């Protein structure tokens, strides 16, 4: 078993470029190609289909056979990929497609592509029909009556397919009216509102006109690969080449990974060390609706754009300014986009490294010095380590130094903050665990053939044996989950926060041309799930992630984000436990006492009470997917949404909003970080829990003894 880098391969790595790129103002998507001709597969794609099918059938961890049951899943996923919002196909189209539902497995095995391409070409026809309606509507003198009392359901998940064009036209009229109302309430004049919408939908037309056979084939193959699990995918040659180039390029830009979804450009990941990360302004699942250059540039609407075109606007030379209008991932329906100012820069790797601070926690009329070590990802310079460089970059080495510094300052306990840490090096997750335990297993890795390898810490030394807490949230994933699970299984420290993401799988990247070296055509690449991670107690980290010992209030519903939100996620299961020696720091009786004290604070502490109520109100408001299309009511809805968001912001709830308090001053992001620091209620409460642990652990009746598991 090799060393694994436990990260998700991104669709686009925003701002990774070879050299400086000139600022481009007023850029629009390239001219469209004709949509009159059907898109057809090319010979190389039949070869890629055969090879990808063989690899996925034989080597994917799940070992799922191609049969009618899987065919139905592929069919549904393909339809969803083409028309996720049910805004183009008619019910009659779906009735026609029904005859193919059990045949997708046969198409893959027999190298057939005609039907998937035929289905996509039907979509193109329906798209043109909707486009004609949209442009006709937008040519009317007054297309929308904002005094009319009507509403729209923004959730299309359970919507039925439209029975006819008239029904679809009415749905689109409401969508356009809603978009127009958003623009109107943002201060645009009526003529500017219509002009913006016309340009927006012409951009969508151009984008669809640029769809090539390669993109349709990739969509079809991903319907298959993603039916096996959400982290397995096919990359067509152009996408594969772009990925390889971006992985080798220097890190310069705003530091975010993007993808296209539902006509929006969404943020996949915020890269530690980049401007977006340092400003804490952007987060996963946020949608970028428009982009402006510099402090005075005009905003360019990018709704409906390809991600490649959006990237050309957003990335640029370091020290230049880009402004973004963002719809937050957790924004209430109808909420206005927020504007953020970012200064592009080369991503500083030192910003990705672990940092520490000391916070003072008052608990029980006594002040405690709590050391906090923030780890944004598990990093390791493998090349530097291989060449035995003295100071190669390593999470474990950095954290060990920080622990020494904190101990010199006589801290009473240490918190390891893994919130929003999406993973990284498995080697570092194992060695970091070793700083807190004697020696022993840390994680088990099971390959698709059934072979199990145990990754262990073999260093008997312990860097820190004092009171310890580990903070996690819904976006703590992979290596973060391995570390937190090991600390929990060894009963070495408290795990505090939310249920983690639940990514317990390992992927490898396969170049299809390496399998057929004499093949002249480029066939693309497959990212394949080949193994699963298991805790030392035998439980998988897949799907369930790590459940904290003490759960903090959350803004999210169960499985709203994370592996559990993916229908094709691999299941949770168990394997035999490893043998390991449990520490005496934590036991069920201690957890019970800590939970009682925490529950008491939830009832008596005003900040916590306000936090819980605000989060509950916020979640309830997000459940309502109905927005008014009447101007007066929509305005009231926006004002109410802003009140709820302001309440979140006042509490400093980063998981919900991500906004900086300095947001009103566009240049405040450039100020030194120590000038003004937001209060972190979650960190404060974790510090209190750790202080409680310090007190409780001194009680002789609760002290445990080491035992073998």
Catalytic residue among 225, 233, 478, 480: 478
Give the CA-trace dihedral at 668, 669, 671, 677, to 10 degrees: 90
Q: Is 141 helix (H, G, I), strand (E, B) or coil?
A: coil
CB 540 within 8 Å of CB 533: yes
Catalytic residue among 83, 457, 489, 692: 489
Residue 488 CB contacts under 8 Å (≥ 6 apart), including other chains: 470, 495, 546, 549
Query: Which residues on adjacent β-strands are paired with residue 598?
Result: none
Given CA atoms 249, 251, 254, 259 in this order, what sign does their dihedral have?
Answer: positive
Token pair in block for residue 235: 């990359």
CB 418 within 8 Å of CB 469: no
478 tagged catalytic: yes
Contacts 24+ apart (CB under 8 A), 44-48: 44/521, 44/522, 44/523, 45/113, 45/213, 45/214, 45/217, 46/111, 46/113, 47/516, 47/519, 47/521, 47/523, 48/217, 48/221, 48/234, 48/236, 48/512, 48/523, 48/524
CB 165 within 8 Å of CB 114: no
Residue 699 to residues 285, 585, 590, 705: CA-CA distances in angstroms?
46, 12, 10, 14
> Across 376-459, where does the E strand assignment appear?
413-417, 424-425, 440-447, 452-457
Catalytic residue among 278, 503, 532, 644: 503
Token pair in block for residue 455: 């990754």
203 tagged catalytic: no
565 tagged catalytic: no
- Give the orientation angle of helix 68-82 with respect to helix 213-228, to 10 degrees: 130
Residue 90 CB contacts under 8 Å (≥ 6 apart), including other chains: 126, 161, 162, 163, 164, 165, 168
CA-based radius of gyration for the chain: 27
Q: Is 434 helix (H, G, I), strand (E, B) or coil?
A: helix
Residue positions annotated with a catalytic role = 478, 489, 503
């Amino acid at each position: 078993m090799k060393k694994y880098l436990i990260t998700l391969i991104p669709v686009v790595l925003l701002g990774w470029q070879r050299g400086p790129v000139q600022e481009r103002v007023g850029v629009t998507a390239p001219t469209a190609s004709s949509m009159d001709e059907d898109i057809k597969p090319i010979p190389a794609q039949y070869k890629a289909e055969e090879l990808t099918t063989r690899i996925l059938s034989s080597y994917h961890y799940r070992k799922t056979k191609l049969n009618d049951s899987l065919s139905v899943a592929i069919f549904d996923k393909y339809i969803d990929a083409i028309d996720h919002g049910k805004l183009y196909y008619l019910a009659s189209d779906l009735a026609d497609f029904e005859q193919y539902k059990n045949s997708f497995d046969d198409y893959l095995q027999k190298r057939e592509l005609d039907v998937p391409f035929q289905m996509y070409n039907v979509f193109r026809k329906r798209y043109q029909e909707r486009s004609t309606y949209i442009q006709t509507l937008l040519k009317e003198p007054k297309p929308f009556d904002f005094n009319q009392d009507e509403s729209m359901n923004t959730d299309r998940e359970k919507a039925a397919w439209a029975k006819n064009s008239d029904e679809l036209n009415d749905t689109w009229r409401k969508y356009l009216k809603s978009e127009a109302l958003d623009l109107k309430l943002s201060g645009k004049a009526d003529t500017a509102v219509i002009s913006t919408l016309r340009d927006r939908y012409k951009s969508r037309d151009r984008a669809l006109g640029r769809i090539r056979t390669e993109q349709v084939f990739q969509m079809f193959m991903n319907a298959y690969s993603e039916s096996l699990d959400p982290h397995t995918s096919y990359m067509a040659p152009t996408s594969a080449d772009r990925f390889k180039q971006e992985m080798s390029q220097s890190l310069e830009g705003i530091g975010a990974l993007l993808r296209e979804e539902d006509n929006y450009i969404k943020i996949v990941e915020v890269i530690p060390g980049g401007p977006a990360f340092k400003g804490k302004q952007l987060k996963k699942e946020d949608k970028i609706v428009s982009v402006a250059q510099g402090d005075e540039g005009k905003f360019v609407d990018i709704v409906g754009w390809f991600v490649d075109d959006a990237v050309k606007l957003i990335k640029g030379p370091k020290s230049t300014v880009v402004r973004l209008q963002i719809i937050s991932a957790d924004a209430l329906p109808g909420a206005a986009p927020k504007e953020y100012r970012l200064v592009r820069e080369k991503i500083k790797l030192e910003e990705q490294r672990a940092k520490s601070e000391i916070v003072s926690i008052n608990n029980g009329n006594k002040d405690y010095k709590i050391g906090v070590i923030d780890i944004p990802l598990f990093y390791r310079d493998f090349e530097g380590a291989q060449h035995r460089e003295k100071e190669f970059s390593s999470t474990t080495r950095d954290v060990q130094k920080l622990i020494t510094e904190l101990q010199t300052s006589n801290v009473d306990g240490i918190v390891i903050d893994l919130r929003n840490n999406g993973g990284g090096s498995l080697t570092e997750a194992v060695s970091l665990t070793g700083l807190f335990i004697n020696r022993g297993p840390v994680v088990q890795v099971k390959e698709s053939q059934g072979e199990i390898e145990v990754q262990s810490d073999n260093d008997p030394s312990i860097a820190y044996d004092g009171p310890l807490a580990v903070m996690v949230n819904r976006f703590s994933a992979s290596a973060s989950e391995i570390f937190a699970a090991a600390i929990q299984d060894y009963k070495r420290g408290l795990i505090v926060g939310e249920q983690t993401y639940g990514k317990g799988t390992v992927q490898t990247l396969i170049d299809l041309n390496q399998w057929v070296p004499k093949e002249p055509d480029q066939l693309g690449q497959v990212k394949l799930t080949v193994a699963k991670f298991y805790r030392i107690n035998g439980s998988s980290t897949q799907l369930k992630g790590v459940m904290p010992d003490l759960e903090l209030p959350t803004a999210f519903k169960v499985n709203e984000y994370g592996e559990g939100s993916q229908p094709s996620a691999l299941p949770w299961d168990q394997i035999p436990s490893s043998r390991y020696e449990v520490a005496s720091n934590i036991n069920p009786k201690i957890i019970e006492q800590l939970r009682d004290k925490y529950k008491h604070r939830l009832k008596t502490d005003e900040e916590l009470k306000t936090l819980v109520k605000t989060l509950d109100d916020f979640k309830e408001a997000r459940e309502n997917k109905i927005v008014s299309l009447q101007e007066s009511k929509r305005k009231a809805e926006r004002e109410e949404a802003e009140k709820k968001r302001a309440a979140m912001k006042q509490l400093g709830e980063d998981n919900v909003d991500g906004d900086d308090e300095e947001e009103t001053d566009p240049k405040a992001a450039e100020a030194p970080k120590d000038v003004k620091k937001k209060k972190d209620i979650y960190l404060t409460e974790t510090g209190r829990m750790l202080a409680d642990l310090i007190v409780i652990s001194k009680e002789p009746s609760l002290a445990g003894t080491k035992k073998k598991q």
